[in-house]
Amino acid sequence: MKREMKRKTSEQRLREKINNLEQKIRKLDKRINKQKRLIDIDFLTKLYNRQAFHKFFKNTYEGIRSANQRKNRRLQESRSSLLLINLDEFKRYNDDFGYTIGDQILKKVAKLLKRSVRNIDIVFRWGGDEFAIILIGTDISQAEGIAKIVLTKVKEIKIKKKIVLSVSIGVAQLESDISLSQIFEKADKALLEAKDRGRNQIVIG
């Protein structure tokens, strides 16, 4: 009888230890997953960062290529586009008003970009004063329309009386017959052209 009780007690203790260990493992998994998510997030704006951009950009592109290879008409007709956005004269605002104001500008622009697109679209802080948006299921004309909305709304952001914000935007469509780097280059060249033309405008790549 005593042996049986001891055996049951030992088994109970073992189960408790296993349960405690499983709880610790679950907590550790949650922490690891949280850290993984944080790696892809820009600390200031809470947008996805450049590292995350490369992942999403590649996945979106591969989805389009896969649809074309399977000759999936519905997906072939559903294009995606890329916006590259640069805050005009941002360095001057940092120099004239300080980095605290500069940070406020970046955070407000980030919020505006998130509000200007759908939940399925993905907004990134590319770095410094540059942002990127992957517009899912959006062709080039639709992407230009969204870029025009952003162009208008950015000017309405209130920071200080002397600050009137504007952006330059380069637009390119994701196409399966050219490489990822070529698509990005098209958008980047379009952005540079928008700035060369005098800023505060959109150029299609």
Q: Count H helices, E strands: the chain?
A: 7, 5
> What's the rounded Cα separation, in Å, for the pair 205 and 199?
16
Q: What is d(CA 77, CA 99) in angstroms, rounded to the nearest whole number? A: 44
* pLDDT confidence bin for 176, thresholds 50/70/90: confident
Q: Is pLDDT above 90 for 121?
A: yes
E-only strand ranges, 99-157: 122-127, 130-135
For residue 63, give the nearest of 134, 8, 12, 147 by alpha carbon.
134
pLDDT level of residue 36 (50, 70, 90 thresholds): very low
Of 6 and 67, more confident? 67
What's the CA gap between 179 and 72, in Å, rounded?
20
Give the mean pLDDT of 67-87.
72
Which token pair is 202? 């959109």
Nearest to 150 by CA among 138, 132, 136, 127: 132
- Examine the pLDDT at 72 and tell me if it is beyond 80: no
Two structure tokens written together for 15? 């189960």
Tokens representing 159 are: 């920071």
Which residues lie across from 169 on neighbouring strands? 85, 202
CB 115 within 8 A of CB 130: no
